[in-house]
Structure 1
């Protein structure tokens, strides 16, 4: 669905995945595997009970908890999937989860380590597989080839969510097309762990944004004209604040703060700003300034992390 140029609809956008391409690849490979006399043992795993419950019992895979299931593969054709990323990751290693583990977008941006017959690969959660039951994951063709021979089409796997994976860089923010001072939607990326909350500073208080199935965070009645100060909290308790995010729909703005790690240690706002302006390397939009506030304990498990208050 093409983004509206005016006030966007309240409903989420439809899935952008090509089911036909995926099934042609998987079914064709499976038929060939059958002709070769290959026998596969498939085990479907359930969603871990210790994962933090979200909407109607849906929850992404819990960090460190092994899940047994099966994997197929598909090709996103370069698109960023139902998580609305501008593009697939450069290494083309990504995964789509079934509705129960995609959890209405709550799994977006997290990472899985997937182990199959040939080895292990780390993948970014960026898409939903509508027909996949719990335990069935749909890998990119490139990721599947790292763990199995693609001729097999479907293989048994073990997968687990990764806690605090290495970050590719600072946080990025993308204001959705159609946003204005009266309707606000932002996509946050490069956060490592799945996100628990996104808040926007307005009038001296923090306003909670609502996560949509397509991974944008929305304030339905808007957050003013900007620039915006946005506070991001992940499922492991890490929390950072980025300031100076501009109302520039469709532009990817890179902050100067990471969700955790080298540049996100607790420090004062004055100490967190570089002495000279950094150029924006993602788009022509002005570079936002960003400050780190607090970071949660790395030992805090997703199920134990508390939801931050929005009025403090």
Structure 2
């Protein structure tokens, strides 16, 4: 269909003039003279109207528009923004929640359940869970190990199998170990036991193993559980060798419960540092080195420590400790 601006309309006027010819010749001549002038003028107006419509069209009006004739989609029509000009109505929160078949995001993704209901940040090692495994023994020497806590006079320690060591998440955990005969010992995880140590296996110091069985047994069946022991110690902080304001590794020592996160203060909040398999949290660009620290245990409790200077290899005590569970 041609656009309204291309339509011609003078036909009606010509049909009106036909009866006048039968009345009189003089009337016909007069009518023709009168009819020619409006016809030419009407054409000129419509052409001008088409030009106006091209230059500045308006929605639903303008020259060339006719009642009952919808405007065609041409370059002359202003472009619409389908999503901005007339957005589709959005369902309200009440409507969305009332349609469980489609569901909202919270309904479709239920909140994760906490491990044992008490330790939301626990990894493989969870409180209230008894693990089956075997115990072997090794010569712990001065008590140092993969967790890099350094020498220790307390040799009631153990190396955790790599699976449950979980990139040093087990470091510092206190574990109650029970033998089949009923003997028990509490150890602290300071080392990692690589393959062939299997999941559930603990490699105890000779001193700790001797509390359960004779060393000649070599390998015994055990169960073990995570503890949150009584202690009079507070947490200490140590910066790794080579640490400065431009790069640092931070370690927490003596925490009652397994450590889940270590964060450093920044100008805009807290930044979580990445934990290494050797139990240091690294700030590769120096962010937060020498500033405030925030420690979080597997139970979600947070301790804030300030005033710890960057002094590599120095164990600096704090006045804080996690609660007992």
TM-score, normalised to structure 1's length?
0.62
**SS where residue 142 of structure 1 aligns?**
helix
- Decide whether the 8 Å contact of 2:143 with 2:157 is kept in 1: no
Q: CA deviation at 1:202?
A: 2.2
- Decide whether the 8 Å contact of 2:136 with 2:209 is kept in 1: yes
Of 183, 187, 191, which aligns to 1:127? 191
Q: CA deviation at 1:107?
A: 0.7
Distance 1:224 1:188, change over 3 A: closer
- Decide whether the 8 Å contact of 1:199 with 1:208 is kept in 2: yes
Distance 1:78 1:207, change over 3 A: same
Report the structure number with the largest CA radius of gyration. Answer: 2
Distance 1:161 1:212, change over 3 A: same
Q: In structure 2, what is the equivalent of residue 136 of structure 1?
A: 201
Q: In structure 1, what is the equivalent of residue 217 of structure 2?
A: 152
Distance 1:225 1:184 in 2: 6
**SS where residue 307 of structure 2 aligns?**
strand
Q: In structure 1, what is the equivalent of residue 26 of structure 2?
A: none
The superposition leaves residues 130-169 of structure 1 with CA deviations (integer Å, 9 ceiling, x where unpaired) of 011112210011111111111211111111111x222341
Q: In structure 2, what is the equivalent of residue 177 of structure 1?
A: 241
**SS where residue 127 of structure 1 aligns?**
strand
Distance 1:148 1:230 in 2: 42
Q: In structure 1, what is the equivalent of residue 283 of structure 2?
A: 219
Distance 1:121 1:225, change over 3 A: closer
- Decide whether the 8 Å contact of 1:118 with 1:148 is kept in 2: no
Aligned length: 208
Of 267, 277, 292, which aligns to 1:229? 292
> Are residue 115 (structure 1) and residue 207 (structure 2) matched?
no
**SS where residue 311 of structure 2 aligns?**
coil
Q: CA deviation at 1:221?
A: 0.6
RMSD: 2.2
Q: CA deviation at 1:225?
A: 5.9
Give 5+ residue unaligned stretches, structure 2: 1-113
> Are residue 207 (structure 1) and residue 267 (structure 2) matched?
no
The 5 A counterparts of 1:11-50 are none
The 5 A counterparts of 1:89-108 are 90-108=153-171
- Decide whether the 8 Å contact of 2:248 with 2:289 is kept in 1: no
Of 240, 250, 264, which aligns to 2:303? 240
Distance 2:211 2:270 in 1: 44
> Are residue 69 (structure 1) and residue 128 (structure 2) matched?
no
Distance 2:289 2:147 in 1: 25
- Decide whether the 8 Å contact of 1:59 with 1:102 is kept in 2: no
Give 5+ residue unaligned stretches, structure 1: 1-48, 262-297, 299-312
Question: Could you list the runs of 4 or more consecutive aligned residues of structure 1 that deviate by over 3 angstroms after TM superposition?
Answer: 49-54
**SS where residue 147 of structure 1 aligns?**
coil
